[in-house]
Chains A and B, each alone.
Chain A
């Protein structure tokens, strides 16, 4: 084991505060469930694109491109929106129960914090892992989109980035929120009152111009709207530079503020 008088050269804590190791931990846990996860990762876009794109799509435009959808078939309009919105869904499910569990159930975050891993290491390791997950899910989604022929332009591939950013814009603040929770009943409320409405009303399925004028500004404030607009603009080749900057700015703001809040709530829960 160890001896008392051993003058061990003190190890400098790593620059990243252990974020890399936290990421590694998440990957280790994921490795145990990846088979099932891969299946559902592909199944979900197949179901959505088949039902909404082909089924609903052929009903909406009857094979004719509609002007209000940018002159493309409904499925081509819809697919990039779903790609971005999928990021939100993934982020929310990766940042709720699992975060609270790390504080309250398994208490694994407390275990990490007893080691040289810092609060920042835990937060950024966690967010880095969510980024990886979002990338996997978005890539799978894009592959399915491609297979269905629902990608409007070569730039559509950057919709993966839009999807990841949309996801992070939710993951960061939800992670911050989940760290302070003592029981999990609130999470189903998040899904019911935030995630689902945003999924339905942020321009994913129809342009937000269809919404009553007074509701539209609310949509503008949500990361989902900007993520969807970004992914769609890229896929249809209709994105203008100013719009791109605004969309990226809003998403970035959510990510930065969310991460800053997570640092605060994680510290509050770990260091008392």
Chain B
């Protein structure tokens, strides 16, 4: 956890609401949370979490639905008041400087908030106007952004006529209209087909290379592996692990995983036959996962014991395995 690592003491007071520009503290971390808590009546959505996001970093919240990811994102986006703890975004306090913070972040919400009655380009222009851009500047940026998300030829279409992937791209374009320092993406690719997801990932990767700080939530391990420099795994309102995807896999899993699938009914009859074949064994409803640094060797050993699975698969460990190890459940149920 980040708490173990002391943050360089900010030269200025923690919150400097009246100072224009980027306060000192923001150069250390764009987002800083200590004991951050969100409650809805009796329900605790986020339970005293700590994290820091550094400028230029791409930071992810990985976890299943209901883990508290969206609540955390909404607090960072200043649309949900915090219940407890400390939160600073761009060195400012969301409780006092919401409008200032919002002026410098871009938000891709989980559910699109596009206007169906307006055209693609009009959606971008009016959003630019919300950030107080002149009409001409908003129009100029709209054209650039349409180019960036490859929607130029749909500029005059109504939003209603766009595919899910196109709407998502438009939402991302819209979130960039104020040239944000920080981009918040809440499940940016959920519900999209693989092709649309790869196009989005490519655009996000470009933004990251341009120095935009990305904070995203996802329950797709491949998305987290693709986009995040660093991530925290959330489960039941808590952060249960933190690190780069590689570090997390090294720390919580083995190099390889051997997946054995048995004929129906056989899995239940297996007793001690699997013991000792791997560092750790997970029994899932439909298959057995054996965690070993050498998957082939484990497969050979299983064969030598007379086990005859229907299919044998050796693969590298993924964040899915990390999550399974940490929570005992898979990410998407």
B60 at the A interface (CB under 8 A): no
Q: What residues of B have a CB within 8 angstroms of the CB of A154 in the complex?
A: none
Q: What residues of A have a CB within 8 angstroms of the CB of B178 in the complex?
A: 115
Partner of B107, one of A14, A24, A114: A114
A271 at the B interface (CB under 8 A): yes
A8 to B55, CA, bound (A): 14
- Would A111 and B55 count as touching, CB distance under 8 A? no
**Which one, A38-46, A83-91, A102-110, A126-134, is touching chain B?**
A102-110
Q: What residues of A have a CB within 8 angstroms of the CB of B114 in the complex?
A: 106, 108, 111
Q: What residues of B have a CB within 8 angstroms of the CB of A106 in the complex?
A: 113-117
Q: What residues of A have a CB within 8 angstroms of the CB of B77 in the complex?
A: 114
Q: What residues of A have a CB within 8 angstroms of the CB of B100 in the complex?
A: 10-13, 116
Shortest Cβ distance from residue A4 to the other chain B in the assembled complex, whole angstroms: 4
- Would B104 and A1 count as touching, CB distance under 8 A? no
Q: 1/0 contact trace for A4-30 toward B, CB 8 Å?
A: 111111111110011001001100110
- Would A2 and B115 count as touching, CB distance under 8 A? no
Which single residue of chain B is at the shortest CB-CB distance from A32? B117
Shortest Cβ distance from residue B167 to the other chain A in the assembled complex, whole angstroms: 12
A112 at the B interface (CB under 8 A): yes
Known: A4-B181, A4-B211, A32-B118. A114 touches B22 (CB 8 A): no
- Would B99 and A13 count as touching, CB distance under 8 A? yes
Q: What residues of A have a CB within 8 angstroms of the CB of B195 in the complex?
A: none
- The number of chain A residues with a CB under 8 A from chain B is 37
A10 to B104, CA, bound (A): 8
- Would B104 and A270 count as touching, CB distance under 8 A? no
Q: What residues of A have a CB within 8 angstroms of the CB of B129 in the complex?
A: 21, 24-25
Shortest Cβ distance from residue A150 to the other chain B in the assembled complex, whole angstroms: 36
In B204-262, which residues have CB < 8 Å from any A CB? 207, 210-213
Partner of A1, one of B112, B116, B179: B179
Most buried by A among B27, B100, B129, B180: B129
Shortest Cβ distance from residue B57 to the other chain A in the assembled complex, whole angstroms: 9
Partner of B22, one of A8, A24, A111, A112: A8
Q: What residues of A have a CB within 8 angstroms of the CB of B112 in the complex?
A: 107
- Would B113 and A108 count as touching, CB distance under 8 A? yes
A271 to B113, CA, bound (A): 15
A272 at the B interface (CB under 8 A): yes
- The number of chain B residues with a CB under 8 A from chain A is 45
In B101-129, which residues have CB < 8 Å from any A CB? 102-104, 107, 109, 111-118, 122, 126-127, 129
B286 at the A interface (CB under 8 A): no
Q: What residues of B have a CB within 8 angstroms of the CB of A4 in the complex?
A: 55-56, 181, 211-213
Shortest Cβ distance from residue B2 to the other chain A in the assembled complex, whole angstroms: 20
Most buried by B among A14, A28, A113, A115: A115
Q: What residues of B have a CB within 8 angstroms of the CB of A108 in the complex?
A: 113-115
- Would B118 and A29 count as touching, CB distance under 8 A? yes
- Would A110 and B113 count as touching, CB distance under 8 A? yes
A175 at the B interface (CB under 8 A): no
- Would A2 and B180 count as touching, CB distance under 8 A? yes
Q: What residues of A have a CB within 8 angstroms of the CB of B191 in the complex?
A: none
A139 at the B interface (CB under 8 A): no
Most buried by A among B40, B111, B112, B118: B118
A61 to B3, CA, bound (A): 86
Shortest Cβ distance from residue A124 to the other chain B in the assembled complex, whole angstroms: 15
Most buried by B among A12, A18, A25: A25
Which single residue of chain A is at the shortest CB-CB distance from B171? A111
- Would B102 and A271 count as touching, CB distance under 8 A? no
- Would B113 and A1 count as touching, CB distance under 8 A? no
Most buried by A among B74, B98, B111, B132: B132
- Would B104 and A8 count as touching, CB distance under 8 A? yes
- Would B211 and A111 count as touching, CB distance under 8 A? no
In A24-67, which residues have CB < 8 Å from any B CB? 24-25, 28-29, 32
Known: A10-B20, A112-B130. A271 touches B79 (CB 8 A): yes
Shortest Cβ distance from residue B94 to the other chain A in the assembled complex, whole angstroms: 11
A120 to B112, CA, bound (A): 23
Q: What residues of B have a CB within 8 angstroms of the CB of A270 in the complex?
A: 79
Known: A11-B132, A28-B126, A29-B115. A3 touches B103 (CB 8 A): no
- Would B99 and A118 count as touching, CB distance under 8 A? yes
A262 to B189, CA, bound (A): 34
In B69-108, which residues have CB < 8 Å from any A CB? 74, 77, 79-81, 98-100, 102-104, 107
Interface residues of chain A, those whose CB is within 8 Å of chain B, are: 1-14, 17-18, 21, 24-25, 28-29, 32, 106-108, 110-118, 270-272
Instruction: List 10 interface pairs A-B (beta carbons < 8 Å), by A numbering.
Output: A1-B179, A2-B179, A11-B132, A12-B100, A18-B132, A29-B115, A29-B118, A107-B112, A107-B113, A108-B114
Known pairs A11-B100, A108-B113; list 6 more (Cβ under 8 Å). Answer: A4-B213, A17-B99, A106-B116, A117-B130, A118-B98, A271-B81
